[in-house]
């Protein structure tokens, strides 16, 4: 994978929901960069964000491997795709699932639909990579939402994950996240072997979201 990936997880931040999600997506779509920018949005916002920012890649934050029928409260992958989603996060530290859940989701989604499976450590990343998702993102839970980037606090987990994943399946891309906020963080992540980054508050909670986005991709 030659292009670097920058995934912005909108989570349920007030600054990245509803009309604010649409506004942030338009800012992302307007960035001039060779990087691949992705907005991971609330299921409620998928369709409106796709419409607000044509051309921007939009993912869900979670999906469930269910069929049509009696599945109250679950998120059906084909409905997400129908609404314009082209990928999803899964197994985020804030919404953990089983390996079986991830495997079943991979079986249910069509070719070309990106699945980024999140891992807390190298061991979990290795196990997830055996399922052959599109990406594995390593995020130490204790650093998520913090002020110190994983690339500074624990660079070994980034390089170690990149090595472990490639040993299991060379086609799986590796992302890193937790505390990532600046272009320097992204630069180091790539130098450590990552294909890109997964971040949230560094953009969503920024006083100037556009400036933060531009800073993130300056190196790419």
Supply the residues annotated as catalytic.
92, 139
Query: Residue 96's closest CA among 79, 66, 77, 121?
Result: 121
The answer to whether 105 and 113 have CB atoms below 8 angstroms apart is no
Query: Two tokens at 9?
Result: 């997880």
Q: Residue 108: which H helix or E strand, with range? A: helix 99-108
Cα separation, 220 vs 125, in Å, equals 25
Orientation angle between helical segments 19-29 and 209-216, nearest 10 degrees: 40
Q: Residue 117: which H helix or E strand, with range? A: strand 114-119
């Amino acid at each position: 994978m030659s292009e670097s990936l920058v995934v912005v997880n909108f989570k349920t931040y007030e600054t990245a929901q509803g009309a604010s999600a649409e506004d942030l997506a338009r800012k992302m779509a307007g960035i001039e960069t060779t990087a691949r920018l992705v907005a991971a949005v609330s299921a409620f916002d998928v369709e409106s964000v796709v419409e607000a920012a044509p051309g921007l890649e939009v993912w869900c934050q979670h999906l469930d491997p269910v069929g049509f029928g009696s599945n109250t409260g679950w998120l059906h992958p084909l409905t997400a795709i129908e609404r314009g989603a082209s990928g999803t996060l899964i197994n985020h530290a804030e919404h953990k699932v089983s390996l079986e859940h991830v495997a079943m989701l991979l079986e249910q989604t069509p070719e070309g639909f990106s699945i980024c499976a999140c891992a807390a450590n190298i061991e979990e990343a290795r196990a997830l990579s055996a399922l052959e998702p599109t990406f594995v993102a390593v995020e130490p839970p204790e650093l998520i939402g913090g002020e110190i980037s994983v690339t500074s606090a624990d660079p070994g987990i980034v390089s170690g994950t990149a090595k472990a994943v490639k040993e299991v399946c060379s086609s799986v891309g590796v992302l890193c996240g937790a505390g990532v906020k600046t272009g320097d963080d992204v630069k180091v992540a790539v130098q450590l072997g990552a294909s890109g980054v997964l971040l949230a508050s560094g953009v969503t909670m920024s006083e100037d979201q556009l400036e933060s986005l531009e800073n993130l991709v300056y190196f790419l």
